[in-house]
Amino acid sequence: SHLQGDVLDELTCPICLQVYADPVILSCKHSFCQSCIEETWKEPVSGSYCCPECRAEGKERPVLEKNFKLANIAQKYLALESGQNAVLCNYCIRKQLPAIKTCMKCEASMCPIHLKLHTQNGAFRNHPLVDTASDLSVWKCPEHEKLLDIYCKDDQLCVCTLCTLIGKHKNHNCGSISEGEKELRVSWYPARLAALIAETKQEVKEKYDALRKHIEREELDVFRCLDKEQNRVMVAIDAQIQELQTKMKSLEKCLTDLTELHLKREKLAFIQVNTTTCIYLHSVPHTGSVPECLTLVAHHAEPGVGTVEEEGLQAISPDPDTAHFKLVLSDSNRTVSLSQKKQPLPRNLERFDCCQQVICSEGIKCGRSYWEVEIVGDGGVWKVGVTDRLRSLFRSLSLAIAYKHTIHMVPNPQEAVGT
């Protein structure tokens, strides 16, 4: 692979083109096999020692330091390659490296270094290369011992040249190996794709069936739990109903006894029945004290009472044409306050001129009514009253017939007006 070739390039000595053996490092940080660099420096050029890689020169022979890290990496690489692939390069001389390709024309296996040299040579460029194989006989014709370089389309077999000339495949429809590969791939791909689709569908169906069964089991478990909870609640409700019925019967009997007790006129009988009834009343079970019951009733009843009150309330507003000159109306004629000074109001027949009063615009025709008044401050003295329309025409008289919180109702008025 490309990664394997790149790693091998980093582990190759620039002098012998083999994997490092006892690598040493120079002052310029380049590494070489110890035997290779010593052989190179036997006869120094111009009396100086230079690095074969970067040509850095020095008059004195450099001290060779062993590159332990590089040596360990090279040893591990060789051990790994020798364990994975037993086919070695046929061109390595000193130490054979693992081969990565085999040339069928040359019948030789090559390591990455020699494979690169082989492919760069124009004479070998068109040689067929295959993955490394220890037994090359699998790539040869068993009858003629020649390379299998032709594909017989009729028999769908790889044959040698002699097979098409004098052998069993003479006059057959033949082509190159690459053409046969393309045809096989084209014919194989749809079948393989259909098989993959069928396999995927089957896998999806199996998973869906398993999921559906799991959901059904979970659903049954939930229904069982709901049935158990329903039965438990129903049993509890039945028990409460039985208890309440028992209490109701006890109270009914108690009420009957009390009614009979009320009708007793003889003192002795009254005392006897009274004693029996009192003893029976003490035995009647109860759930709480009277204050607790009243508190519970008030807690549940107050919101409903407030709702009923709010639904029945009707906002009323004083009529500004009837207001006395010292009365000030505000808040959309909902608020009345007394002023020390007379207001510049027009005079009319409806306005009070003597009494500091005002009549509401809305009238009351029938039914029972009450008034809610909000007092600001100490309130002073205020009056509330009702009158009919006939009496309301006398503006010089006081129509206020209620003081503070006492309200007077006009008996059977045709239409009453609040003041």
The predicted structure's pLDDT at residue 402: 39
- Residue-level pLDDT at 337: 86
pLDDT at 215: 94
Per-residue pLDDT of the chain (419 residues; tens, 9 = 90+): 566 667 778 888 888 888 888 889 888 888 999 888 888 888 766 677 888 888 888 777 888 888 888 888 887 787 776 655 557 788 887 777 778 888 877 878 888 888 888 888 888 877 878 777 656 677 788 888 787 888 888 888 888 888 988 888 888 988 887 888 788 777 777 777 888 899 999 999 999 999 999 999 999 999 999 999 999 999 999 999 999 999 999 999 888 887 877 666 544 454 554 444 444 444 444 444 445 555 654 565 555 545 545 555 777 888 888 888 888 888 888 888 888 888 888 888 888 888 888 888 887 777 777 778 888 777 667 788 877 655 555 554 555 543 333 334 343 344 445 55
Task: Please give the CATH topology (third level) of the domain spanning 1-82.
Answer: Herpes Virus-1 (3.30.40)
Question: In angstroms, rounded to a whole number, what is the distance separating the alpha carbons of residues 274 and 262?
Answer: 9
Distance between CA atoms of residues 334 and 332, nearest Å: 5
Residues with Cβ within 8 Å of 182's Cβ and at least 6 positions away in sequence, in order, are none
Topology (CATH level 3) of domain 101-178: Double Stranded RNA Binding Domain (3.30.160)
How much is the pLDDT for 65? 87
pTM exceeding the 0.75 threshold for the entire prediction: no
Neighbours of 284 (CB within 10 A): 13
Distance CA 322, CA 346 (A): 10
pLDDT value for 368: 74
Cβ distance 84 to 98 under 8 Å? yes
- Tell me the Ramachandran region of residue 157: left when phi exceeds 0, alpha when psi lies from -120 to 50, beta otherwise: beta
Q: What is the pLDDT of residue 209?
A: 93
pLDDT score recorded for residue 242 = 93
